[in-house]
Structure 1
Amino acid sequence: MKSKFLKGGIASVILLTTVAFTSTKREVRVEESTIEWTGEKVTGSHNGTIKLQKGHFIFEDDEIVGGEFIMDMSSIKVTDLEGEYRQKLEGHLKSEDFFGVEKYPTAKLVITNAAKKANNVYGIVGDLTIKEETHPVTFDLKLNDDNTATTKLTIDRSKYNVRYGSGSFFDNLGDKTIYDNFDLDVNLKL
């Protein structure tokens, strides 16, 4: 009986060792990667950038199986305005009304599942954390031949306690209403 358990234990160790060596972690080159955001309101839209602080993908047999990405929320920039208006909007986005970057300096995405669809496109399921609120997100991610990974995803800010100007929570905002969804256009360099 001891022999069976010993053989089973050795086989388990060999299997786990083999699996561990087929997984690779590929760091994202943050200085060459970009995250662009677009937020809309009744009277128009604004856009800008957020810097990636660090990130990596986990590959098994050359296919994405996981990953983790940290965004530097204090790096939020507005790119469609200049001067005083730009400074005011950037300050407001960093304030408690929106992302509260002094208290919540980072946001995090953890890939919990990745399934290859076709032509290097993966269906991704992940947990996104903003302001200590975590919710699942799903999106498609394309792994390109030029060692980049690209995606476009839409985030409902109201799920993360970012409710300023939201018509879902406040009445009579009229043309001051800011839509709950904002879009991210992500280009990661591996």
Structure 2
Amino acid sequence: MKQDWKPGTMIYPLPAVLVSCGSHEEEYNIVTVAWTGTVCTNPPMCYISVRPERHSHAIIKKNMEFVINLTTKDMAFATDWCGVRSGKDHNKFGEMKLTPGKCTIVSAPLIEESPLCIECRVKEIISLGSHDMFIADVVNVRAEENHLNKETGKLELAEANPLVYVHGNYFDLGEKIGKFGWSVEKKKNTK
């Protein structure tokens, strides 16, 4: 039997990402975001939703660029810490011993410890209530080479132990149970 609950945001799991922003070292900041996702494949677009009172909100709005840095199980403490501390009061890169790296296209820094960094340029900002949605063009993706399959060149991101967020808690992915299309794949004859 199911219960009715008041309307809420219950779509889980979500990636727990670190969004880095700022156009120069004194301005660099990191904010933890779970309200993020894909908007479009062609052209590649994504979004993040950020509360206007967050320190990073003004930085992103000013520069119109940010980087979505995927996180891992090893980055769980820093991911949580960067979400509950303000960049007004803390140097998040320094205090969490995260390394700001140079992006290929945007001015915002990437996080070197992240296995995948998505460089984004803001296309539109939509005020929705508690959060503003930054819809962005993906202008470049930086992948850690040690997660590339040497034979196929395919990114094996699951090997990095990605961190996900589920209703106030962080989890790693766990065991693989299938792949896209496996439910309709033709079975090989094993005779």
TM-score (norm 2): 0.28
Instruction: Select the structure that is richer in helix.
Output: 1
Instruction: Select the structure that is richer in strand.
Output: 1
When Rg is computed on C-alpha atoms for both structures, the one with the higher figure is 1
